[in-house]
Chain A
Amino acid sequence: MKRLIIFTLICVTIIAAAETNIARGGSEVILEPDNISIGFFYSGRKAHLRTETPPGYDVVVKVAGPDEGLRLKKKGKVGGFLWMNVGEIGFENVPNLYMIGSSRGLADMLVGDFFEREQIGYDAINFHSTAETEEEEEFLFGEFVKLKEKEGLYSIDERSVHHRIIGDGNQEITAEFDLPAKAPLGKYQVMVYGIKNGDGTLLGTGEIQIAQSSPVAFISSLAYRRGLLYGCLAVVIAVVAGLFTGMIFGMGKGKAH
């Protein structure tokens, strides 16, 4: 009985370990790095993805952060010729980071409503807004996407996923994603989809985590948890730095009036 319990526990442990490495859809998704630590000289990272799929699939990779809500200022003409902020719009359920890579054009893959269900492509993002009309919503969401693309947080690259046939007949999938320095801290879901004969399926998933290293986290924590102390320290250091430089420069000039 004792041996049976030990054997069962070992089996459960092995299965649980396998669950963490082998993705939901079955293929193991290897992400390098899958844990990014932000230090003072961090300026974004390139993340590499590698996985294997059965042959004949077109592949779409989606990297998405958690959904967020945000408010934007709308620009419009005032008095017929001055561009100014003329109001606000709120968006809910928009991912804070959204990157799509594919082995060929998304429009060329005929997959029914699969892309819509899996929110693949900007048109498929299932957001809500405070826009008054559908036309306004569509237009302002387009502008929002432009803003996110400019920040490097949204992208669609239809040639960034590469595949090649390997020894066992399967295909090796590789892709790269530029995670910008501006990517918010947190966990990002990586989904690998296979498209074949007009049908889509989830082949595997992975996760990338971005966190601050200890010194950077210390400064953030001080700023957010002890704002008054942080502000006073910032002022004292600035005054000392200013006076110190003033003294250094003043030394070479002899005594003042």
Chain B
Amino acid sequence: MNLGIYLPIAGNSVNIFLLLGLGGAVGFLSGLFGVGGGFILTPLLIMIGIPPTIAAASDSNQIVAASASGTFAHARGGTVDFKMGIFLLIGGMVGGTCGVKLVQFLRAMGEANFVITITYIVMLAGIGSYMFYDSLSSMRGERSADSKEEKISERPSLYARFAGALPWKMEFERSKITLSALMPLFFGVLVGVLAAIMGVGGGFIMVPVMVYLLRMPMHVVVGTSLFQILFTCMNVTVMQAWMNHTVDFVLALILLIGSVIGAQIGAGVSRKLKADQLKILMSIIVLAVMVKMLAGLLITPAILVSLKGGH
């Protein structure tokens, strides 16, 4: 029985159940953690023979479906902070545009690939390790002791004092926090720049930023991140299809059938898990991606050339 499906833009045939399975697994992660999943799916698609540019662009298209499905599921559960999401989105759009310019500048300077890759690995290692340590400590009950000490000292950190001194304070009801509107805008720009440099949606950077720097509750973080990713990936899909003709809709359609179902299951599981459990799982995935990237840099490749056009 022929299980291969021909992808008109990729110009290749791939087993349909393999694509459904990949889409389902990544959709599950998307619904669970509020990440787009592009940083995992794009390399997997390249591994099964999809040209890199088409893998990245078609992945964005399927993330639109998964994040729409996930956002809808979270919105029904009341765990999307739309107000915060819009501020982050505006910052992300500005940051993404600046990031593209920065990449052009780095390329002109030479050694850009080296700088970008090392930045990526260091960031993943830092974020992953901190999240892992933090959630592990919290699960062991150390955190409650720390919190008590903090209350006793009643001396907020330098970061908290700085954040408190910023103007244009605003209440974000859904997240139950009050902070300056400049903060989500600033972090949106920062993540947008990093996402453009790394060539990914940025969900796996945005989630830790929301948790640790914006101090949003974990369950609101997941839904809000998905809301932001939805609009970012809609923009990327249209631009890639228009400018580069690299969106394979047949590929995206099969992936999205798997991913929308996976995203719903992920969102359901996300509501049942505790915040620390979610964080520790997320940190393991971030660290696994970091190890995979590091191994890719250290192990001698089987073929010492690759087609131009990938990441």
Contacts and interface: CB of A to CB of B under 8 A. Distances in A.
A binds B: yes
Query: For A89, A185, A257, which residue has the most chain B Cβ atoms within 10 angstroms?
Result: A257
A71 B213 CA distance: 43
Nearest to B247: A234
A74 B250 contact: no
A150 to B, nearest CB: 7
B261 A75 contact: no
B260 interface: yes
Query: For A71, A230, A231, A250, which residue has the most chain B Cβ atoms within 10 angstroms?
Result: A231
Interface of A: 38-44, 70-76, 78-79, 81-85, 88-89, 140, 143-144, 146-147, 150-151, 181-182, 184-185, 212, 216-217, 219-220, 223-224, 227-228, 230-235, 237-239, 241-243, 245-247, 249-250, 253, 256-257
Contact of A181 (B6, B9, B114): B6
A42 to B, nearest CB: 4
Given A84-B297, A235-B234, A237-B253, A181 B305 contact: no
Contact of B13 (A70, A151, A181, A232): A181
A253 B237 CA distance: 32
28 contacts: A43-B5, A75-B301, A75-B306, A83-B297, A83-B301, A85-B113, A88-B308, A144-B305, A146-B303, A147-B307, A184-B11, A212-B8, A216-B8, A220-B8, A223-B8, A223-B247, A227-B242, A231-B237, A234-B249, A235-B238, A238-B61, A238-B64, A242-B64, A247-B72, A249-B73, A250-B76, A256-B78, A257-B76
Contacts of A224: 245
B167 interface: no
Interface string B95-139: 000000000000000000110010000000000000000000000
Given A38-B6, A241-B256, A247-B72, 12 more contacts: A39-B6, A41-B6, A70-B308, A82-B114, A83-B296, A143-B303, A219-B249, A219-B250, A223-B245, A227-B241, A241-B260, A257-B76
A75 B302 CA distance: 11
Interface residues of B, number: 65
Nearest to A183: B11
B264 interface: yes
Query: For B78, B114, B249, which residue has the most chain A Cβ atoms within 10 angstroms?
Result: B249
A235 B250 CA distance: 13
B68 interface: yes
Contacts of A228: 238, 241-242
A236 B206 CA distance: 25
B299 interface: yes
Interface string B20-46: 000000000000000000000000000
A88 B308 CA distance: 8
B157 interface: no
A140 B303 CA distance: 10
Contacts of A238: 61-62, 64-65, 68, 237, 252, 256
Contact of B308 (A72, A76, A239): A72
A116 to B, nearest CB: 24
B158 interface: no
A82 to B, nearest CB: 5
Given A72-B306, A72-B308, A242 B72 contact: yes
Nearest to B9: A223
Contacts of A216: 6, 8
A144 B305 CA distance: 7
Contact of A246 (B68, B242, B297): B68
Interface in B258-311: 260-261, 263-264, 268, 296-308, 310
Query: For A79, A224, A242, which residue has the most chain B Cβ atoms within 10 angstroms?
Result: A242
B13 A257 contact: no
Contacts of A182: 11-13, 49
Nearest to A239: B68
Contacts of A230: 241, 247, 249
Given A219-B250, A228-B241, A250-B73, A72 B65 contact: no
Contact of A150 (B78, B247, B303): B303
B294 to A, nearest CB: 9
Contact of B307 (A70, A184, A232, A246): A70
A83 B305 CA distance: 11
Given A41-B2, A83-B299, A241 B304 contact: no
B49 A71 contact: no
B249 A223 contact: yes
